[in-house]
Structure 1
Amino acid sequence: MHCWIDGQEATAVNLQNRGLAYGDGLFETIAVRGGKPSLLTRHLDRLALGCQRLAIDVDLLLVRNELLQFAQLLGEGVAKLILTRGDSQRGYASAPGAQARRILQGSPLPVYPAQHAELGVRLFPCQTRLAEQPLLAGLKHLNRLEQVLARAEWQDSAYAEGLMRDSQGRVIEGVYSNLFLVRGKVLLTADLSRCGVAGVMRGALLEQAPLSGVVVEVRDLTLEDLQQADEVFVCNSVYGIWPVREFAALNWPAGPLTLKLQAVARTLLDT
């Protein structure tokens, strides 16, 4: 596995790194194909938003250039970009003038069963709830313990993903994906202003769907909305779109709008 820290080959971080101590940082998981990072601009735009929200000072042009070089080296795979506030002594206060640390890790593209995309997946009903914190909502920050706990709830390979709700029971997302519902000709996805990750593929689909005449609504979703859905799918920036065929006692087909957007997602991953 390739690994760079601050643009140099390395295999270890300083024990005083705030990402290690406090989860003080952000990350992006980026598919690399043909030596090029997919959806690069969208990933960097989200990273820039996170840096602004967390007040992390970093040269984003340098980050971009390093990522492009790293992708060429990797060729095919997944580049995980981790950005931390840097190193500091013990205590929550960051050291004045601390330099942000840039970590790049490369790994092979995951191999998923073809039926996930063709026939759809089953969702596990996770009991772990997402806490509400508007200051962090939407960001892909390093504090992922809720997802770690949720993913530990099932070992059965029959489930490819889990469904997560917030503390009020609202339907939010998958453990590592965003969730969409189709009702009639309307595409629905959860409001992420309280919690959840604003996925790069989610954002791209919200822009692309209306170009095909699809009405899009971003709002609070409930289990009742799931029951009334005609189609359901999950998405992320590595695999694109998987139809959801089953959740608890509910079943859905891999419907026409899901399949149409699945083709859109494939094209997006090649850009």
Structure 2
Amino acid sequence: MKVAQSRYLLLLFLLTCELAPEVAAAVEKSSDGPGAVQEPLQLTDVPAAMEFIAAAEVAVIGFFQDLEIPVVSVFHSIVQKFQDVSFGISTDPEVLTHYNITGNTISLFRLVDNEQLNLDDEDIENIDVTKLSRFVEINSLHLVTEYNSVTVIGLFNSMIQIHLLLMMNKASPEYEENIHRYQKAAKLFQGKILFVVVDSGMKENGKVISFFKLKESQLPALAIYRTLDDEWDTRPIVEVSVENVQSFCDEFLEGKLLRENHESEEKTPKVEL
């Protein structure tokens, strides 16, 4: 089991290290888009905070005792960088107590696995825009998360140990329709399986595809992986449907793996990783 986990960690290490300059660029680059300026929502009571968190796939809340401290301005400055993340602020004592906050804290809430990740007083005392942006970028897992050199860290750190990867070229005309159905399927396995999309049109994602012994001619394809014991399976598909994604996931959860296809790989170290 330890060997399996180390191989998976090695895969992640190689992918992230190779693209390290892009990680920095992703954090530094603002993702500002057209539309109204996004501002954090003031959360004045517990029901408002609960509703706010429940309505977002990813929510970041600044729980502050005092709005005059330096981190508050840092918090405001990153809001516009993440258009797919909901930001809120609360100084209400009852709200802070409800979420077990005892000092100044920035918390990220994820719908996909019901996680609350905290940056506490000592973490945010001297935090800057780059570090706070990286915290949000790494940990922003959605019902369907696009694989890249930043999100891979958050995927590995998630408590959910089964990951389903859709490997498909984002430039294909069928992509938008397929990803819409993929998102519907993701809701059926919320809290059980992390749904990931890997753009096969990106050269740097070739290592992910080769890790699962897939060829370009077999794409689009689904690959499912359990980090705990290194079990995995793949299934080339003509199109994504809720039904075929659901059946593939159900079969994996029930232990119906193509184990014989992987026996030879278990005997041979994956030196390419």
Q: Which TM-score applies when normalising by structure 1?
A: 0.30
The structure that has the greater radius of gyration is: 2
Structure holding more strand per residue: 1
